[in-house]
A and B are shown apart, each in its own frame.
Chain A
C-alpha cells in the first residue's frame, strides 16, 4: 500500500502548489492601509481571480460611504469590546467595499494570545496546566467568545 501514501501526499502537494502559483488578490494586509492598492501574491498573475463570482464585488453600492443599503456596512475600521465567561476581548473589524475583510483580535484576557513581542508567552500556554507546550491542537474552537465584540463593531459600521 506504499504507493497509496505517495498518491495522497502527491495530490495534496500538487493542489497546494497550483493554488499558490495561480495567485490570489491580497486585500487584507494586517496593518490595513485602506487606500493601498491590492497586491498580488506570488509571481504570476491572478488570472483566475476574475472568474470567481465572489470578486464581482459589491463596490457599486458602497461608493459614497454616507449612503448605505440596508444591511450594508460602511467602509472603515471599527472597534468592539465584549465580555464573556473568561474575561474581556477587543476586536478591530475592517470593512472595505462593504465587505468584512478582517477581524483582528486587539486585546484578549481569555486564553487566546494576542499580538505581542516575546518574552511574553501566549497566555493560552500559561492557562493550561500543561506547562511547556507551544501550542495546543484540539477541535476547532468557535468564535463564540468574540461575538459580542464583533457585533458591537458591526453596529458602528451600520449606523
Chain B
C-alpha cells in the first residue's frame, strides 16, 4: 500500500463521445484554478465532438459528408483532423482509413449515445468501395472535397485529438491525467510524486489488468475488440479492416504509447487491424512503442517497449 497522499488532487467525470472522460489534476494550487482549467479541458471534448461526430447530423463533418465533388471550406479543427487521418491512412497503406463510416453504419454503429437517435444512413454504393484516396485536401484554401459519396468517421482520432487539446489546458499543473474511456495522457507526476502508473486492461477479464506501465508526459491508447459490439451482427465489433470490410479477429487488443494521444489513438487502431507481426512493424516504423495481444493472450511488443513495463 502506498503512503498517504502527499498532494491534493481533484477528479471530475463527464460524458462525451460515448464514453466517460475523467480528468485528474494534482496540484498545490487553489481548487478554483483547477476547476477553471478543468472546465476548459472538458470544453475541448465538447468542441471536438460537435465538429467531428458523424452521429450528430448538425455536426460539421455530417454536413461535409453530404457534399459531393464540391470543395467545402472546413474549420481548422475539421481540416487538420481529416488531414492527419489522411496522412496516417497513407502511412499505413489504408490499414487505417477515415472513410470507414459507411461500413460502420452497415454494422449498426449509427446511434447517438445520449439521445438514442439514429443517424441517417448516407447513400452508399456497396459495389464501389471508397478509400482515403477519394478525399482531396487543399491546404491553401483549407477545403475538403469528396470524390465519392462516403461517410467520414474520425472515431479513431477524435478522442485523441480532444485529449491533446485538453492537455494544453492542463500542462501548467504539477501532475494531471486525462482519461477518455481508456485513451490516456498522463502528465507530470502523480500525487505521490512518482511517474504515473497505467494498467493495460486484460482483454478477457474485465476487472483485471494484464500489465502495468510507468511513464510521464506520454499518451497511452488501447484499441480492443472486447468493448464495442455490433448491435445487429453477432460477434462483430467495431475494428473493421477497411480493405476486406470485415472485423479483424487476429488481435484482441493493441496498446500504443506516443507523444500525442491523437497519434497513439490512430496507430493503435492501425496496428490492431494489421495484426501482430505487421502491426508491431508498423509501430516501429512510426517510431512508437506498443503491445499487441492475440486471442491466445500471446503478447507481441516493440523492441523498446520494455522500458515502460513495471
Interface residues of A (CB under 8 A from B): 1-2, 4-6, 8-9, 11-16, 18-20, 22, 24-31, 41, 48-49, 51-54, 58, 91, 93, 100-105, 108, 111-119, 122, 127-130, 132-143, 146-147, 150-151, 154
Contacts and interface: CB of A to CB of B under 8 A. Distances in A.
B196 A122 contact: no
Nearest to B26: A118
A144 to B, nearest CB: 9
Contacts of B190: 134
**Which of B10, B168, B253 neighbours the largest number of chain A CB atoms within 10 Å of its CB?**
B168
B43 A24 contact: yes
B60 A52 contact: yes
Interface stretch (B99-107, B222-230, B241-249): B222-230
A5 B286 CA distance: 4
Secondary structure of the A contact surface, majority rule: mixed
B128 interface: no
A5 B88 CA distance: 12
Instruction: State the 8 A-B residue pairs at the shortest beta-carbon distance, nearest first.
Output: A5-B287, A139-B224, A138-B201, A29-B39, A22-B76, A139-B227, A133-B199, A105-B13
A126 B251 CA distance: 28
Interface string B193-234: 000111111010001110010000000111111111000000
Nearest to B254: A139
A140 B287 contact: no
A136 B227 contact: no
A60 to B, nearest CB: 14
A139 B228 contact: yes
Given A103-B114, A105-B13, A113-B22, A16 B260 contact: yes
Contacts of A141: 19-20, 181-182, 227
**Which of A5, A54, A104, A117 neighbours the largest number of chain B CB atoms within 10 Å of its CB?**
A54
5 contacts: A24-B43, A51-B75, A54-B56, A130-B212, A137-B200
B97 interface: no
Contact of B209 (A1, A58, A130): A130
B124 interface: no
Contacts of B60: 52-54
Interface of B: 2, 4-5, 7-16, 18-20, 22, 24, 31, 35-36, 38-40, 42-44, 46-47, 50-51, 56, 58-60, 63, 73-78, 80-81, 83-84, 87-88, 91, 113-116, 159, 161, 164-165, 168-169, 177, 179-184, 186, 190-191, 196-201, 203, 207-209, 212, 220-228, 253, 255, 259-260, 262-263, 285-288
B63 A8 contact: no
Contacts of B59: 53-54
Contacts of A133: 197-199, 209, 212
Nearest to B229: A142
A117 B11 CA distance: 7
A123 B50 CA distance: 30
**Which of A100, A101, A136 neighbours the largest number of chain B CB atoms within 10 Å of its CB?**
A136
A114 B207 contact: no
Contacts of A105: 13-15, 20
A108 to B, nearest CB: 7
B165 A16 contact: yes
Given A15-B83, A139-B223, A117 B8 contact: yes
Nearest to B16: A103
Contacts of A117: 8-10, 31
Contact of B179 (A27, A102, A111, A135): A135
Contact of A26 (B7, B40, B113, B177): B40
A98 B33 CA distance: 29
Nearest to B190: A134
A16 B75 contact: no
A137 B145 CA distance: 35
B83 A138 contact: no
Given A112-B20, A115-B11, A140-B19, A41 B181 contact: no
A15 B184 CA distance: 19
Contacts of A22: 75-77
